[in-house]
Structure 1
Amino acid sequence: MTTTPGAPIAITEIFDLLPHRYPFLLVDRVLEYDPGVSITALKNVTINEPFFQGHFPGVPVMPGMLILEALAQAGGILVSKSLDGPLGDRIFMFTGVEKAKFRRPVTPGDQLVLRCFDLKRRMTLCKMRAQASVDGKVVAEADLSAAVVDKGAV
């Protein structure tokens, strides 16, 4: 399946771009992307998420690290769509987080808008700014770094 820059990417193509599966796939849809530049994706947060059983009983809050993981997965899609060819036997590995800030809690019923932008690539290393928002309000932000590595090297 191919897409044109700017066109939405449905879950079926996300399966082709990311190795993650339930319960760890945290991107439901890509709204738009510009290869090498930016991506905007969605994560619908429901009470059925397995982490809500223990985080926290009676006061369900999405763990901040999972918000960062959702941002990293959106960034992985951006990098995949920015490469000259398909990832093939390579995967996108999260390597660092800097300047992370969590501004407000994310709860069931929220729709996370995941934005990654200001992508910089040098050989197999990537850095980008990332921001998650709900209803137009920033809930988390960070500078993320990752590497594209061979699956056999993991």
Structure 2
Amino acid sequence: MTATPGGAIAVTEIFDLLPHRYPFLLVDRVLEYEPGVSITAIKNVTVNEPFFQGHFPGLPVMPGMLILEALAQAGGLLVSKSLEGPLGDRIFMFTGVEKAKFRRPVTPGDQLVLRCFDLKRRMTLCRMHVEATVDGKIAAEAELSAAVVDKSAL
């Protein structure tokens, strides 16, 4: 399934756009996107997530850094869909986090709605505002930066 601007992106296309796989792929579906502008995606949080074994035993809470990673992956999808051509031998690398705030815990059964917007691109560098909500309430927000780099440079 190939998505059209404004449309959904199924997990099968996400596999084509991101290098991440289980257990580190943290975007289940894209609900909508506008190239160069914004994206809205979801992550369904289940008790079967491997990180819940140790964070925290008896009180499962999704680690804040993994919420930021889910947001960064959604941002990577936005950037991938905003480029003039396919990523090819390039990869979207998370380079910075600023103004991160965690507003409420995320627990099994929650559905994280991941929004990335206010995308600014300059050459290979990107910057965007991101927020993750559960039931319409902000769970986390931040300013993320990233770069599109050649895989061979790593």
For 1:92, what is the secondary structure of its paired residue? strand
Query: 1:149 — aligned with what?
Result: 149
Distance 1:111 1:153 in 2: 36
Q: Which amino acid aligns with 2:30?
A: V
Query: 1:84 — aligned with what?
Result: 84
For 1:60, what is the secondary structure of its paired residue? coil
Distance 1:4 1:138 in 2: 28
Query: 1:35 — aligned with what?
Result: 35
Distance 1:153 1:27 in 2: 26
1:3-47 deviations in whole A, cap 9, x for unaligned?
210110000000000000000000000000000000000000000
Identity %: 87
Unmatched runs of 5 consecutive residues or more in structure 2? none
Q: How does 1:95-114 map to 2 (within 5 A)?
A: 95-114=95-114
For 1:14, what is the secondary structure of its paired residue? helix
What do you get for the CA RMSD once the two structures are aligned?
0.5
For 2:104, what is the secondary structure of its paired residue? coil
For 1:33, what is the secondary structure of its paired residue? strand
Could you tell me whether the CA contact under 8 Å between 2:2 and 2:9 is conserved in 1?
no
Unmatched runs of 5 consecutive residues or more in structure 1? none
1:66-104 deviations in whole A, cap 9, x for unaligned?
000000000000000000000000000000000000000
Please identify runs of 4+ aligned residues in structure 1 that moved more than 2 A. Answer: none
Number of aligned residue pairs: 154
Distance 1:125 1:94 in 2: 10
Distance 1:60 1:91 in 2: 32
**1:2 CA drift (Å):** 2.8
Query: 1:24 — aligned with what?
Result: 24
- TM norm structure 2: 0.99
Distance 1:15 1:2 in 2: 12
